[in-house]
Amino acid sequence: MPPEFADVLIVGGGPTGAALTLALRNSGLDVVLLEAKECLSSDPRPLALSYGSRLILERLGVWAQVAAPTPILSIHVSQRGGFGCSVLNASHADVPALGYVVSYGELQSALQNNQTGCFRGATVLRIESGEEAARAEFSYLGSMRQVTAKLLVIAEGGRGLEGVEGVTQREKDYHQSAVVTQVVSRLLHCNVAYERFTPQGPIALLPFGEKLALVWTTGPHVADMLCGLNDTLFLQRLHQHFGDRLGGFTETGRRVSFPLKLRYATTPTMPRTVILGNAAQTLHPVAGQGFNLGLRDSWELSEIILRSDEQQLGTSEMLRTYRARRRLDRYGGIFFTDTLLTLFSSDSAPLRAVRGFGLAALDALPSAKRFLMRRMIFGARG
Ligand SMILES: Cc1cc2nc3c(=O)[nH]c(=O)nc-3n(C[C@H](O)[C@H](O)[C@H](O)COP(=O)(O)OP(=O)(O)OC[C@H]3O[C@@H](n4cnc5c(N)ncnc54)[C@H](O)[C@@H]3O)c2cc1C
């Protein structure tokens, strides 16, 4: 049964909340995690983890348990209907791989191993932040309960934050959905990830075992239509849309679509409370930054907690330190993703030419590539 008091209470056991729980496991603090789902997620979405995220997961002792991560050795960036492309290689950034593709579900099961203080089937319905403590009311095994904590961490993905007093969110609807599935191509992927910008939205093909994980962004109606097509027609559409670079496609798995929005809290803290991961900022998946940013949120918060004494837990000073440490990386991630989309979603001929020159210039400038890649891999430090 969850206790009535905790030092740290984490609401939401997705990958960000689970990573924070793991990071605090030897802290001597009473850490409680409440997760609404009864069972582990079988979410099919692929996650491209940066090399920096791998280093964090190694420090958390879970990297070896992540099932079959597929290395990304280079990324090929291009635009449909326009010239210019850029190839980013791991060697340009002095890392063995730019990142690794894993499935959300498999990452979750690696993170959930050896978790203590985690209560599944506990749905938080109300959160209250106060100067002395924060409180969460939740339903568990058919009755209402509450936990009071010195520090409350909201990591519930952001969907339930609207009614929480003190949280202001900004939202931008991209009017796009991502169709996610796995496909087999005629040519080998050779550990190259493809990011192709089209006026309807970006399309990403990521090496995933022998297959490719597809994230095809498009309008919501087209996404529904693509999910409903038979396999042969879907593969033909994909070939037309992506082009010949992988020689066409021969197999597809089940297709699922996700609506896409930018949504972020104007500040990631409230009294005695930190908001992190998707709850703090939900990004478009275009650059595969969302979870990487959320994992850095968790890691930095755990470092601040572990370096402070117990009296400082949840104090305004601790929250100020957290905000300052995360500001540049957080706003950098939001701005970079949103700008990329705005810049690449217009079909105007002059803009297409500017983008083409931009991609060609990036390809010719090793120092610009290195800067961009290291930012994407390790984030920005304030
Ligand atoms: C199509 C797609 C592709 C993506 N690709 C990438 C990628 O390549 N790389 C990358 O870094 N990111 C990617 N992302 C983003 C990534 O999925 C998210 O950033 C990541 O899942 C955020 O983790 P989280 O733990 O913060 O939130 P979530 O994954 O949303 O988890 C929140 C958890 O909180 C629980 N919860 C919700 N409400 C309550 C409640 N009231 N009480 C208790 N528990 C609750 C939920 O059950 C869930 O388990 C992608 C996203 C999409 C949609």
251-310, pLDDT tens digit by residue? 999 999 999 999 999 999 999 999 999 999 999 998 899 999 999 999 999 999 999 998
Q: Work out the pLDDT band at 40, boundaries 50, 70, 90.
A: confident
What string of DSSP letters covers 226-246? HHHS-HHHHHHHHHHHH-STT
Whether the CB-CB separation of 324 and 331 falls below 8 Å is answered with no
| Whole-number pLDDT of residue 368 | 87
> Which residues line the pocket of ligand 1, CB cutoff 6 A?
11-17, 34-37, 45, 47-48, 123-124, 155-157, 160, 178, 180, 215, 258, 277-278, 285, 288-292, 294
Phi, psi torsion values for 37, nearest 5 degrees: -75, 140
1-10, 55-64, 160-169, 276-285: lowest mean pLDDT where?
A: 160-169
Q: What is the mean pLDDT of residues 324-343?
A: 93
pLDDT at 114: 63
Say how far apart CA 324 and CA 314 lie, in whole Å: 15
Q: Among 278, 289, 329, 341, say which to mutate for ligand 1: greatest number of ligand atoms within 8 Å of CB.
A: 278
Q: Which ranges of 114-265 would DSSP assign to H, the alpha helix?
A: 220-228, 231-242
pLDDT at 84: 77
Q: Round to whole Å and give the CA distance between 189 and 97.
A: 15
Cα-atom radius of gyration of the chain, to the nearest Å?
21
Over 80: is that where the pLDDT of 113 sits? no
Distance from the alpha carbon of residue 35 to the mean position of ligand 1, in angstroms: 12
In whole numbers, what is the pLDDT of the chain averaged over residues?
93
How far, in Å, is the centroid of ligand 1 from the Cα of 204? 19
Of the pLDDT bands very low, low, confident and very high (cuts 50, 70, 90), residue 44 is: confident
How many beta carbons lie within 10 A of that of residue 324, not counting itself?
A: 10
Distance 16 CA to ligand 1 centre (A): 8
Q: How far is the centre of ligand 1, averaged over its atoms, from the C-alpha of 12 (Å)?
A: 9
What local confidence, expressed as pLDDT, does residue 163 receive?
Answer: 76
Structure tokens at 242: 């992506």
> Which protein residue's CA is at the shortest distance from atom 51 of ligand 1?
285
Q: What is the pLDDT of residues 145-192, one digit of tens each?
A: 999 999 999 999 988 877 788 889 999 999 999 999 999 999 999 999
pLDDT of residue 372: 87
- Give the least confident one: 155-159, 274-278, 315-319, 354-358: 354-358
Residue to probe by mutation, ligand 1, list 291, 292, 299, 378, most atoms within 8 Å of CB: 291
Which whole-number Å values give the CA distances from 174 to 242, 259, 313, in the listed order?
21, 9, 38
Highest mean pLDDT among 41-45, 209-213, 355-359, 371-375: 209-213
Protein residue with least CA distance to atom 15, ligand 1: 290
* Per-residue confidence (pLDDT) for residue 14, from 0 to 100: 95
- Dist. CA 48–CA 283, nearest whole Å: 14
- Percentage above 90 pLDDT, the chain: 75
- The string of pLDDT tens digits covering residues 224-241 is 999 999 999 999 999 999
Contact between 377 and 99 (Cβ < 8 Å): yes
The per-residue pLDDT for 382 is 63
Phi, psi of 14 (to 5 degrees): -70, -170
φ, ψ at 129 (rounded to 5°): -105, 135
What single-letter DSSP state applies at residue 337? Answer: H
pLDDT higher at 123 or 341: 123
